[in-house]
A and B are shown apart, each in its own frame.
Chain A
């Protein structure tokens, strides 16, 4: 979620759409997550009118959010490398 909003601000529907493309989840659960990330100070939100339809709530990544995102990415890379190494050692070939 943080990564999706890293380069430019996103609105809720867009984020839900991107996430549910890749993962099979109840789409409604994305909103509680967005609220939590906003409460934690990782996002700020603002409303902006769209050409057609209602105003949309946009999510903007804060500096704190960016730091948190970088921490998580690093953590993930370490985890990923570890798992891949174990698969490689266990099966004798590189899964990736």
Chain B
């Protein structure tokens, strides 16, 4: 593979990245080729020892996606980071996708509990109206307050837990990218 072929292939594979990032990456490899040629190596030799552009592109994409998810926390960015990491190898389908789905499932279930606790009092009120006997009215009032309180606290706790898990999971992705590379 000549320098031209290597750079064209890598450039095409990195098409999903913003121009600035892509050009910066390509500049690194161009510099590497130029230096290598100056040391008396052939372009073929250099391309050979750099490795497969497909694998390099996957790794570079995963690195970029993880970085994006770190600086801009969002579900979309996290999903892209997870997908990019999974594409690094079959190993990751099990060790990344598995835990990711499990965490999402558990979090969704907890959020559902929190929301139902918050909504339940209104549901009861809408369904049955305010009961006439005063002791039942008090029961409804305190019951509602308890439910709202628990739901609210659970919700706040969950938001914090989600943020924390988000950061930890990204670190795990990073660790995973390194692990695959074997360094």
In the docked arrangement, what's the CA distance between A17 and B36, Å?
10
Q: Interface stretch among B51-59, B90-98, B158-166? A: B51-59
Chain A interfacial residues counted at CB < 8 A: 22
Instruction: Decide if A56 is an interface residue (CB 8 Å cutoff).
Output: yes
Tell me the bound Cα distance from A18 to B51 in angstroms. 17
B50 near A13 with CB under 8 A, answer no
Contact of A33 among B27, B29, B50, B183 (CB under 8 A): B183
A90 on the B face (CB < 8 A): no
Q: A25-B183, A53-B34, A53-B38 are in contact. Are A20 and B59 (CB under 8 A)?
A: no
Chain A nearest CB, measured from B107 CB (Å): 27
Q: Is B156 an interface residue (CB 8 A)?
A: no
CB contacts (< 8 Å) of B25 on chain A: these are 31, 35
Q: Is A12 a contact partner of B32 (Cβ separation < 8 A)?
A: yes
Chain B residues with a Cβ closer than 8 Å to the other chain, count: 26
Are B59 and A29 interface neighbours, CB within 8 A?
yes
- Tell me the minimal C-beta distance from B133 to chain A in angstroms: 65
B61 CB to nearest chain A CB (Å) = 9
* B29 near A28: Cβ-Cβ < 8 Å: yes
Q: In the complex, what residue of chain A is closest to B66 when comparing beta carbons?
A: A36
Q: How far is the CA of A25 from the CA of B181 in the complex (A)?
A: 9
Q: How far is it, in angstroms, between the C-alpha of A11 and the C-alpha of B34 when the chains are bound?
A: 13
**Given A27-B50, A33-B183, A35-B25, A12-B55 contact (CB < 8 Å):** no
Question: B50 to chain A: which residues have CB within 8 Å?
Answer: 26-28
Q: Do A29 and B28 touch across chains, with their CB atoms under 8 A apart?
A: no
Q: Could you tell me if B29 and A20 are in contact, using CB atoms closer than 8 angstroms? A: no
Cβ–Cβ < 8 Å partners of A54 in chain B: 30-31, 34
